[in-house]
Amino acid sequence: MQRRWIALVIALTFSGMTQAHEPNKTPAAPAAQAAGDDENLWLDDIDGARPLAWVKQENARTVAQYAESDEFRTLDARILEMLDSDAKIPMVSKIGDHYYNLWRDKKNPKGLWRRTTLAEYRKDSPAWETVIDLDALSATEKENWVWHGVQCLKPENRYCLVSLSRGGADADVIREFDLSTRSFVKDGFSLPEAKSQVAWIDHDHLFVATDFGPGSTTDSSYPRIVKEWKRGTPLASATTVYEGKKTDMSISAYRDLTPGFEREFVMRALEFYNSESFVRGKEGKLTKIDVPNDAETDVEREWLLIEPRTDWKVGGTTYPSGSLLAAKFDDYMAGKREITVLFTPDEHTSLASHSWTKSHLILNTMRDVVSQIQVLTPAATGPWKSEALGGAPALSTMSATGIDADESDEYFLTVSGFLQPTTLYYGVVGQGDREALKHTPAFFDASKYAVSQHFATSKDGTKVPYFEIAPKTMKADGNNPTLVYGYGGFEISLQPAYLAGPGRAWLEKGGVYVIANIRGGGEYGPRWHQAALKANRPRAYEDFAAVSQDLIDRKITTPKHMGMMGGSNGGLLAGNMLTKYPQLYGAVVSQVALLDMKRYPHMSAGASWMAEYGDPDKPDQWKYIQTFSPYHNLHKGTAYPAVLFTTSTRDDRVGPVHARKMAARMQAMGFNASFYENLEGGHGAAADNKQAAFMNALSYVYLWDHLK
């Protein structure tokens, strides 16, 4: 089974903007070694004394300017109140007979991993049993543990592999845990800090892909080798299952533990959306699943599902990119090509996700970024039975997920809209109405606002959708502070979701909030993503500019009142809107961003994204990459909007160096660039709710200060 290595998901949501000013004084940087050298390479030393002194000085300056007002303190407290709210939905996952949840609040900032029964979960105030207290564990071990997830050995679901991160980095430690005693297993499986991939084979064996020493990781910093490790033996004695190349992205393996369908798989991720999957047979023999390398596959019991990302011709039939196909797994591996079409996209529709129950397949689809759900029932031959699973409210998102595909046809369904707090439903496919279990409280008065969808025309004529959330009393006079948010990469879609944070931080102040569904994302399937890859990356920025210009043309706002924000790949978007379209914005906020596109493959996990952006070490590719490298497109004398760069020292995915260098270069050129680096938090830039509230409040206060 192929797995998408989408590593660039970010949870924050903000924007900022311009004016030249006197450069800030910073600790002196060593002179460049030669003409043309990067004058800010000294900031690459992430934990070095001199760079951290610069970071702390910049942090203090930013805090003094934007985070010491009554306005900031009030907003910070209101966002934290929301994040710590006891009334928010405790989302759960089923392990064995219990439903587990990671819960953070004021009393438990690092979190409680806890469990309950379905009968209790149905209650307004369930009785929870604490399994792991992260705050207590951190205090005992003197570590800042951040929860990274758990894998339990089916079908008993007693022994689990718990992943814990120091400060929120992607790298984590892994320890074996016993759910029956609620304690870590003495002398159990344990791995030191690394970007590991582990999976159970049986009680006494694991698949382990980790840092085994020099040469065992890829250029992308992920494991290059996967081994089989036996309980009670040293990791050094584990036997090799598969070795990839240094230029691959990652290697991993797992065993499907579905009763009656136990199979072992090895995955070789060459790059994003380019992988090979193998079935591991007797004596370790590997047989490739014969599908295009860019296709996604999913094996569930007797079925093989295939999502081709480019048009795929099989036996005289061409299956379009973005479709979903099914075949009997054993027959397919034996060479038969009897394929059933389960979903075909069109100009307006795409497949968002799919999820199995015991007897059915749930399809979450989108039509112009708005949800639709179908339930498919497999047939031995021919078309599968299809039924709609209710309708979504206008401009909202519905998402259904099977609870336990091994045991039942139960599912959870969430329904959410920009102004509609999330509701969690429980249902059983084919058994009548679903049951509303939990509701997110209303964190702001939504009755004052309206949601609308619009389409802007990009430079090449493409229609680009965007959502606008605005006061019902808004006047189209160009004076509305407007924040435009975007991402535009890695086939990630920005669908309607409750705007709890932006509602309190932006809408309540009278601002307009906009989400741009630009190319590079997945709103219209693979074609929408592929339209902005590599040399076509500027299409994403043209789309965002078109949305921004449409807001101006509709007299919603003007450049001095319009800001934009994005994080990670969206932070690269922010950097390009800053440098390529400075005339459109009054302020920009760029979060945990890629910005130096010349050196990005050599920074943190950057080498894994060359399928998205290209390889700057190849002159022919650097020629086009340079056009969207913000760090290399700064020019003295340009009227740039004010900009805030935020990042995290513990971000080992993108890394803080991009933001450090961009801010330093802009300051040296005399531009208004502010900077804040959280000293922990990983790629999400926050290790707990308090830090998340601070980072959110800082960005919103910064934007409002420049756009009001």
> Token digits for 619?
């002159």
Closest listed residue to residue 197, CA positions, set 245, 253, 236, 149:
253
Please tell me the distance from the alpha carbon of residue 397 to that of residue 376, in angstroms, as a whole number.
20
Please tell me the distance from the alpha carbon of residue 302 to that of residue 427, in angstroms, as a whole number.
25
Please tell me the distance from the alpha carbon of residue 517 to that of residue 367, in angstroms, as a whole number.
13
Please tell me the distance from the alpha carbon of residue 152 to that of residue 185, in angstroms, as a whole number.
13
| 568 among known catalytic residues | yes
Strands 562-567 and 482-485: parallel
At residue 72's C-alpha, the angle toward residues 68 and 78, to 5°, is 140
220, 683, 699, 706: the active-site residue = 683
Q: What are phi and psi of 480, to 5 degrees?
A: -90, 120
Answer yes or no: are the C-beta atoms of 692 and 104 closer than 8 Å.
no
Mention every residue, 6+ apart, whose C-beta is less than 8 A from residue 351.
307, 322, 323, 324, 343, 345, 363, 364, 365, 366, 525
Largest CA-CA distance found in the chain, in angstroms, rounded: 73
Residue listed under structure tokens 């707090």: 421
> Token digits for 240?
């090799």
568, 604, 608, 699: the active-site residue = 568
Burial (Cβ within 10 Å: 0-12, 13-18, ≥19) of residue 609: buried
Closest listed residue to residue 183, CA positions, set 206, 208, 160:
160
**CB environment 40-56: b (16+ within 10 A), e (fewer):** bebbbebeeeebbebbe
Closest listed residue to residue 530, CA positions, set 473, 487, 490, 470:
490
Closest listed residue to residue 676, CA positions, set 12, 66, 68:
66
Instruction: Give the alpha-carbon dihedral of 536, 538, 541, 546, to 10 degrees.
Output: -80
Strands 303-307 and 312-314: unpaired
Q: Which amino acid is at 553?
A: D
Q: Could you say which DSSP state residue 442 is in?
A: P
Please tell me the distance from the alpha carbon of residue 157 to that of residue 407, in angstroms, as a whole number.
13
Residue listed under structure tokens 């007002």: 69
Please tell me the distance from the alpha carbon of residue 8 to that of residue 310, in angstroms, as a whole number.
22
Please tell me the distance from the alpha carbon of residue 69 to that of residue 680, in angstroms, as a whole number.
24
Q: In the sheet where 435-439 sits, what is the strand order?
A: 396-402, 410-417, 423-428, 435-439
Closest listed residue to residue 389, CA positions, set 416, 367, 418, 360:
360
Length of the chain: 708
Classified as helix, coil or strand, 240 is strand
Please tell me the distance from the alpha carbon of residue 112 to that of residue 114, in angstroms, as a whole number.
6
| 439 among known catalytic residues | no
| Active-site residue list | 568, 683
